[in-house]
Amino acid sequence: MADARIRQIKIKAGVVKRTAKEKSMYEKEAKKEEEKVQKMKDEGKDEHDVMTFLVYENFMTQVMTFLVYENFMSQVMTFWLKLHKNHLV
């Protein structure tokens, strides 16, 4: 019984770790794109070019970052609640 619970905890902890890493990567990508937008503005690029970049490239990164973050928080809360329910915390 205890071995199965420990195995499940390890699996769930691995899921949370993987999702946290994915979240971190999306945040880094979003920061790079923000820097790219600022560079475009500093270089005096046409406002239309900047807006096109924001709409077609940056927008999807922002959406994915948000979705991964929401998924991450959901998994963390679910994991914590299961641990609490099983009196492991």
pLDDT of residue 1: 56
Q: What is the DSSP string of 46-68?
A: -HHHHHHHIIIIIHHHHHHHHHH
In a domain, 17, yes or no: yes
Contact 26, 89 (CB under 8 A): no
Residue for token digits 């998994």? 75
pLDDT of residue 87: 66
pLDDT of residue 88: 59
In a domain, 50, yes or no: yes
Domain that holds residue 36: 2-84
* Domain count for the chain: 1
Q: pLDDT digits over 16-73, tens only?
A: 788 778 878 878 887 888 888 889 889 998 888 888 877 777 777 777 777 777 877 7
In a domain, 89, yes or no: no
